[in-house]
Structure 1
């Protein structure tokens, strides 16, 4: 992208952001109707879709998952001791209830007009991602599911009304982590793939596929799309434990430090994703794509964990194996749970605690958040 085009795109983006006079809902003659919220993604934002999938090992509709979930509900299928970041964002936006999972049999009829969550633990950009986990709903299948939702909206409002409805809705996409964790960097199993593809080649394939998927989402009516990048997956407890167990190899050192090669590949992906978001904003000028910098935010929290009240940023709160294997496996019903979950950054082998998600949501929803570009989430949601 040449320099002049970048300047023009920046000017347009800023004009779009400043065209919204307020970041709070405005009343109209009929009262404010909050825009719908639609979420596509992986286990970081799955709110129970995998509960309804057979032949998968990535399902957690049991305690201690959900042990701290509000309103007396437990074992919700969320990959957390409580809420996910999209749950908390929805609360902040004033939604009456949490956005339901698409696969729940009760998510039908006018319920979907508030929003739907299509995310699935183990899902990825590539259809082969997560195959080692059994069944899961990858990005292409999630788009198919949204197409079904869209068909209902069209039946309800007609083509023109559906387009207006979807243009007001906010779409949040959190996808890509599993393409590294459960695809390219699987210990041993991914060796043949790594011999065929360099990390940069693999990332280029991801971006090419993601471009098609985000374009399809736009073609189905989405106009406000927040796309999260991938966090420092080389620093999750699972990868730290793997790093400490395996003998030194090309991309492992025998310690509990982060796997830098994974993070390097992710940073390259995030750089390419940032360019893709700019490209889509330039191509679809009537839309607004946001880049949500989860990598920067997660790194900030890990680097400054004590300032947020955390005491442990390396280990999982739920322990299924003794040290030094703690964090190598997901939490299970017999898992030993840390006494104070608010002191841990990670809940299980790969997912943050409710306390961490609360920090994430607060930082992402700041009026001038440096982790959301080019507009704030509120500006786009209430536009």
Structure 2
């Protein structure tokens, strides 16, 4: 009897220790628990999904200042380098697919050891498909560099799990999400000062050609590093962000035509590229996320989604839509953060991110095709 009693006490103590270890994010056996669900979530892209990489760069594009992250529960409202008030779309998707931890920023000192089994985030504010994109910010990680960094992670997986298990984990269980392209227009092609050379010498068609041939090479490189399940976001309606509406002095329900036209032109061609890659890369599955329509729906039908405005930034300064000066300690901030589609002059609020993420997770083929992310995980 005594032995049984001490056994059950040990059991309780053990349970407590496990719970404590889990709460302290010491991952112990968590990796084994993941066998059923999602493996790693690898996130590539720009400030829409940056989770703090730019904190570690000397760059003009940073979000590690308040009130950014004011609603991010994991940091108790301290800024983490996410360009929104709470979670990014990438955070929400990982959570919903069953990952117990957010993908860790590659440049963060704790992106080592078992932490990477849940995934790694390579995204960088200001980053683009083209290497010249975002030069205005001095430093940022473009897509080529992000893939160089994944190559480093890929080798770490071999060390952690052994080559054959690592390959399986990355090919069958992990999802690669890419949210990139907006900066190639906003902070490259459409920038009067820096891209004057490119714009004189390149028509929109030629620039978009360039973008897609670069992206094709980049996605093929990931495939060669064993990526198989991809979700690729198209470019959103960048002519409708508060920044564009403010500098072009538009009315509340107007959007700037040229940026949207360029985005739509790129998006149509992106769809063709993904179909081509699905055909040419055996075993790969490229899922197309229709971010443009999802965001446009939020902007157009904001009232039906429970928002009070889709033109004014919640946190920002300048002009009619608070769209000129990015969000920072001296910015004015709206009272109801969950009622604004846009958190700052460029980025959606957590409330908007949540609606978009849910559509990508569980939506129909209008939102995401040929399957949604829940189906992709189980595929």
TM-score normalised by L of structure 2: 0.87
Is residue 43 of structure 1 aligned with residue 47 of structure 2?
A: yes
Relative contact order higher in (CA < 8 Å, ≥ 6 apart): 1
Residue of structure 2 aligned with 1:198, choices 200, 203, 226: 203
- Say which SS state the counterpart of residue 308 (structure 1) adopts: coil
CA 1:30–1:41 in 2, change beyond 3 Å: closer, same or farther?
A: closer
Residue 261 of structure 1 aligns with which residue? 258
- Say which SS state the counterpart of residue 362 (structure 2) adopts: coil
In 2, Cα distance between the equivalents of 1:270 and 1:188? Answer: 25
Residue 174 of structure 2 aligns with which residue? 169
Q: Is the 8 A contact 2:312 2:321 kept in 1?
A: no
1:4-15 matches, within 5 Å, as none
Is residue 340 of structure 1 aligned with residue 318 of structure 2?
A: no
In 1, Cα distance between the equivalents of 2:135 and 2:363? Answer: 40
Which structure 1 residue ranges, 5 or more long, are not aligned? 1-27, 245-253
Residue 225 of structure 1 aligns with which residue? 230
Is residue 69 of structure 1 aligned with residue 69 of structure 2?
A: no
Residue 247 of structure 1 aligns with which residue? none
In 2, Cα distance between the equivalents of 1:30 and 1:175? Answer: 28
- Say which SS state the counterpart of residue 345 (structure 1) adopts: coil
CA RMSD after TM alignment: 1.7
In 2, Cα distance between the equivalents of 1:303 and 1:364? Answer: 19
Q: Is the 8 A contact 1:243 1:258 kept in 2?
A: no
Q: CA deviation at 1:30?
A: 9.4
In 2, Cα distance between the equivalents of 1:218 and 1:111? Answer: 23
Is residue 178 of structure 1 aligned with residue 183 of structure 2?
A: yes
CA 1:116–1:297 in 2, change beyond 3 Å: closer, same or farther?
A: same
Residue 277 of structure 2 aligns with which residue? 280
Q: Is the 8 A contact 2:65 2:81 kept in 1?
A: yes
Cα displacement string for residues 244-263 of structure 1 (whole angstroms, at most 9, x for unaligned residues): 2xxxxxxxxx6663111111
CA 1:208–1:31 in 2, change beyond 3 Å: closer, same or farther?
A: closer
Q: Is the 8 A contact 1:243 1:255 kept in 2?
A: no
CA 1:29–1:365 in 2, change beyond 3 Å: closer, same or farther?
A: closer
Is residue 94 of structure 1 aligned with residue 98 of structure 2?
A: yes
CA 1:29–1:166 in 2, change beyond 3 Å: closer, same or farther?
A: closer
Q: CA deviation at 1:159?
A: 2.9
In 1, Cα distance between the equivalents of 2:140 and 2:151? Answer: 18
Is residue 327 of structure 1 aligned with residue 330 of structure 2?
A: no
Q: Which has the larger radius of gyration?
A: 2
Q: Is the 8 A contact 1:293 1:372 kept in 2?
A: yes
Residue of structure 2 aligned with 1:135, choices 139, 159, 166: 139
Residue 289 of structure 2 aligns with which residue? 292
Residue of structure 2 aligned with 1:271, choices 260, 268, 273: 268
Deviating more after overlay: 29-38 vs 209-218: 29-38
Q: CA deviation at 1:186?
A: 1.3
Which structure 2 residue ranges, 5 or more long, are not aligned? 1-31
Q: CA deviation at 1:29?
A: 11
Cα displacement string for residues 282-318 of structure 1 (whole angstroms, at most 9, x for unaligned residues): 0113111101110011111111110011111111111
Is residue 213 of structure 1 aligned with residue 218 of structure 2?
A: yes
